[in-house]
Amino acid sequence: MDGDNHPVLRVRNLKTGFATPAGMVVAVDGVDFDLHRNEILAIIGESGSGKTVTALSLIRLITSPPGRYLGGSIEIGGRDLLSLDETAMETVRGKTIGMIFQNPRASLDPSFTIEFQLTETLLRHDPALGRKGARAAATKALQEVGFPDIPRVLASYPHQLSGGMCQRIGLAMVLACKPELLIADEPTTALDVGVQAKILLLLKKRSRETGLPIVIITHDIGVVRAIATRVLVMYGGHVQEAGEIDELLAEPLHPYTKALIRSIPDPDAPADTMTFIKGEPPNLLAPPPGCRFAPRCDQAIGLCHQKLPEWRAAGPGRMVRCHLAAAGGPQ
């Protein structure tokens, strides 16, 4: 974090739900965090924990019906995005907040060439570039993400390219628009190990050199270690723990964080020593009354099943939602 104490992004009590015939599923339930320049914030957790819904909520891509914003605020540049109409949000997406989607083809139109899509996106956000300038910027963006044969890529349609190539094109498109904030939802899942490393280095370099704040959604602890400066751990729609990357991974406070770290496969360990988290994630139509993780937690006591833990400070830069994380036992 730099010397500027004003966050680029300020999220408070964010709640996002989905209406179903059986009732409202609150997939993101009271999420709070700030994001400053030069920070790379990783949001981690099992599938269904609320990571991607949080990311999509930040850029107002939860569609109604069935999605619904149930409360809270998302402030960037002095504006609460939840108070803006769709026309105003169109000016935010791309230039103020850029997003790399988990499905690499979701941001590409199969009817147009890569060159057309890149140049039109750039011209939309900066008409002064002109067609020639936009093509030069598109070429430079593709070079940055590691494409060797750029003329062929520019002339191609999305279906002529692999999923990994489409992922890199999506990243190039976002970075070329020079957003104030970048959201990356599983940005390396479709990439081989070599390209993955290059992309992570590119994101880290861009953040370091320009101060670009990044939110990265992942369940790959290796990616978290490689790129993140701070981590939020989500489970059952709640943030369970937050802290600086090195401290949180070295000394996790929440039993769920500890279980996630223990479940990372070790290729050198015997197969029968592999650990996993028993049980299933909570049913968010009817979540448990206490801690969302209590039914699967091997340390849970009676209080954990009865009362939802408060989200509280647990030392400098550390936050946790756990009755057992306080010194001296449950609170």
Cα diameter, the chain: 67
pLDDT digits (tens, 9 = 90+) for 77-91: 889 999 999 999 988
In tens, the pLDDT along 93-104 reads 988 999 988 777
* Residues 58-76: tens digit of each pLDDT: 999 998 889 999 999 999 9
- Residue 2's pLDDT is what? 46
For the entire predicted model, the pTM comes to 0.90
Contacts of residue 291, defined as CB under 8 A and 6 or more positions apart, other chains included, come to: 297, 300, 304, 305, 308, 309, 321, 322, 323
Identify the band that residue 195 occupies on the pLDDT scale cut at 50, 70 and 90.
confident
